[in-house]
């Protein structure tokens, strides 16, 4: 075959190959693609990565994790919506408790302040912070307390809303600020999230720090009521001594002196 004719055939073949590559929209000099997962450079016509097996996409802007990103964004929006709805419900609930009850007056607020001062002097830091800065004191029952009922109570706390209702006996049945401090110490446990049994136990164990002892207060109504409620809820606190019927917190206070 004459050289000129062979050269003409080679040029024609090269032209056809270039045309085929161009029709695919790819520069013949750019015939490789990097895997978006592991970074391995693959041939352009590979449908899957030779190293990790991930699918190779024709469109550079198409990312295999795009559906996951979309799902994550939708999940974040759903969580934000739930948080917003929960906040709105809690806010409306707390407002309803305040709107259906009356606040304590200035004289009662001063009494509460003196009781909290005693707790502060006894170094009940967490409880004092909650009672001073979070609690909202009311003098009458809100609709929720009326529904639940709080017979024979000196006070009631609506957790986690911080509404503390102080009933008449809180001011009249307690003999002094120390006893009122003990009652507030109990309510502070509820403000911190403790249940009734845990609150009774905490107050009974720590009452000596306020000087609220049987030697001084055994005959008062508040002391007798608190002992009765605590012994029923936490009987293990009254199984000390040789007779196994003594107050365990008294032994603890004695050893700490």
Residues 163 and 114 in one domain: yes
Residues 186 and 92 in one domain: no
Residues 240 and 124 in one domain: yes
C-alpha 215: how far from chain center = 41
Q: pLDDT digits over 96-149, tens only?
A: 888 999 999 999 999 999 999 999 999 999 999 999 999 999 999 999 888 887
Predicted confidence band of residue 2 (pLDDT cuts 50, 70, 90): low
Residues 231 and 106 in one domain: yes
**Strand boundaries in the chain, DSSP class E:** 32-34, 41-43, 136-138, 155-158, 163-166
- Is residue 227 within 8 A of residue 207, CB to CB? The reply is no
Residue 32, in any domain of the structure: no
Helix (H) or strand (E) holding 143: helix 143-148
DSSP string across 68-96? HHHHHHHHHHHHHHHHHHHHHHHHHHHHH
Predicted confidence band of residue 87 (pLDDT cuts 50, 70, 90): confident
Q: pLDDT digits over 212-251, tens only?
A: 999 999 999 999 999 999 999 999 999 888 888 788 887 4
Helix (H) or strand (E) holding 148: helix 143-148
Structural domain that includes position 78: 69-99
When the pLDDT of each residue in the chain is averaged and rounded to a whole number, the result is: 83
pLDDT of residue 80: 87
Give the predicted TM-score (pTM) of the model.
Answer: 0.67
Q: Can you tell me the distance from the alpha carbon of 130 to that of 187, in angstroms, rounded to the nearest whole number?
A: 10
Residue 42, in any domain of the structure: no
- Total Cβ atoms within 10 A of residue 155: 19
Residues 113 and 94 in one domain: no
For CA atoms 236, 241, 245, 251, give the dihedral sign: negative
Residues 88 and 120 in one domain: no
Query: Number of structural domains, the chain?
Result: 2
Residues 76 and 144 in one domain: no
- Is residue 128 within 8 A of residue 190, CB to CB? The reply is no
Q: Helices in 149-233 by DSSP H: which ranges? A: 168-172, 177-191, 196-206, 214-217, 221-233
């Amino acid at each position: 075959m004459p050289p000129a004719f062979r050269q003409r055939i080679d040029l024609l073949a090269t032209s056809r190959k270039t045309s085929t590559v161009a029709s695919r929209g790819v520069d013949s000099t750019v015939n490789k693609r990097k895997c978006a997962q592991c970074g391995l450079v693959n041939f352009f016509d590979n449908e899957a990565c030779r190293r990790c097996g991930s699918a190779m996409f024709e469109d550079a802007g198409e990312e295999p994790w795009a559906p996951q990103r979309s799902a994550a964004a939708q999940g974040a929006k759903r969580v934000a919506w739930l948080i917003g709805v929960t906040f709105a419900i809690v806010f409306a609930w707390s407002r309803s408790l305040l709107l259906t009850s009356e606040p304590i007056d200035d004289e009662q607020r001063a009494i509460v302040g003196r009781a909290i001062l005693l707790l502060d002097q006894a170094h009940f830091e967490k409880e004092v912070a909650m009672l001073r800065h979070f609690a909202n004191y009311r003098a009458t029952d809100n609709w929720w307390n009326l529904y639940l009922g709080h017979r024979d109570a000196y006070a009631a706390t609506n957790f986690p809303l911080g509404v503390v209702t102080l009933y008449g006996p809180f001011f009249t049945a307690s003999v002094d600020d120390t006893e009122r401090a003990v009652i507030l110490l109990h309510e502070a446990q509820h403000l911190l999230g403790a249940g009734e049994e845990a609150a009774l136990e905490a107050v009974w164990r720590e009452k000596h720090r306020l000087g609220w002892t049987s030697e001084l207060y055994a005959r008062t109504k508040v002391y007798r009521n608190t002992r009765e409620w605590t012994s029923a809820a936490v009987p293990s606190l009254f199984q000390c001594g040789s007779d196994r019927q003594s107050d365990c917190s008294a032994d603890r206070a004695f050893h700490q002196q």
